[in-house]
Amino acid sequence: MWIEAHLNNVNETIIYLQDFPKGFENTTIFFISDVHRRKIHDNILSKIRGRADFIVIGGDLAEKGVPYSRIEQNIKKLTKIAPVYFVWGNNDYEVDYHKLDAMLLDCGVKILDNTAVSFESDNELLNLLGVDDPTGQRDNLDLALQDSGNGFRILISHNPSIVNKITSLHKIGLVISGHTHGGQIRIWKWGLEEKGGVKYCKQTTLFVSNGYGTTMLPLRLGVPAETNLLTLKSK
């Protein structure tokens, strides 16, 4: 259980998406969520260097008691690889979030707090939206949508429960989340949360990471620690 909790896996997943713009075919996102108390290992960085178009931190980068020096070191490691985007998780608010906010900005990280950024290629738009933590009811999907363009939309939300607020009218093609840790400790097929992975919903496609760190106990069973290299392709 200790070993599973401290692995440095980079799980590679291809996600096939309806109406994904051809100009962004094979876009690769490195997604890391729920770091909590861990130090991001250099082995992970060596596996993604030169492969990730951009990096998304899916919340819970911090929690109460984690030294700010460790948080800053983790951020700086990621910013050396590719542009970094961040959404807030519930545990991030256990620290001085004003200080964390300033640290992220100083390191050049773009915070997606009910906002969006757009990328253009071959006259096609790819929109990356992010909502603030739904667990604390800080999310505002309407604001993020207003900030996005009319192209393909990817939504980052720490908590995957955001899918319950999405309709087909929002035209969000992909949601990327963490938070659940895949249940963290699973006995056979049983766990407190569903195991992560790709789920094709009626209104969108959802990817949930099992996360890199742990909560409460530094142990895992049946859901080893993971980071994710996501390659996006059109169906």
First to last CA, the chain: 38
Residue 11 · residue 229 · CB < 8 Å: yes
What tens digit of pLDDT does each residue of 94-126 get? Answer: 999 999 999 999 999 999 999 999 999 988 999
Question: DSSP secondary-structure letter at 41?
Answer: P
In this predicted structure, what is the pLDDT of residue 59? 98
The CATH number of the domain holding residue 133 is 3.60.21.10
Which has the closest alpha carbon to 82: 200, 218, 229? Answer: 229
| CA 135 – CA 34 distance, rounded (Å) | 14
In this predicted structure, what is the pLDDT of residue 89? 98
What tens digit of pLDDT does each residue of 180-221 get? Answer: 999 999 998 888 899 999 999 989 999 999 999 999 899 999
* Residue 203 lies in domain: 2-234
- How many other C-beta atoms can be found within 10 angstroms of the C-beta atom of residue 232? 24
Locate tokens 């800080």: which residue? Answer: 138
In this predicted structure, what is the pLDDT of residue 87? 98
Locate tokens 């290629």: which residue? Answer: 121
| CA 206 – CA 51 distance, rounded (Å) | 22
In this predicted structure, what is the pLDDT of residue 149? 86
What tens digit of pLDDT does each residue of 66-82 get? Answer: 999 999 999 999 999 99
In this predicted structure, what is the pLDDT of residue 105? 98
- Computed on alpha carbons and rounded to an integer, the radius of gyration of the chain in Å comes to 17
Q: What angle do CA 57, 103, 113 make, to 5 degrees?
A: 50
| CA 29 – CA 209 distance, rounded (Å) | 13
Structural domains of the chain, count: 1
Q: If you average pLDDT over residues 22-45, what whole number do you get?
A: 97
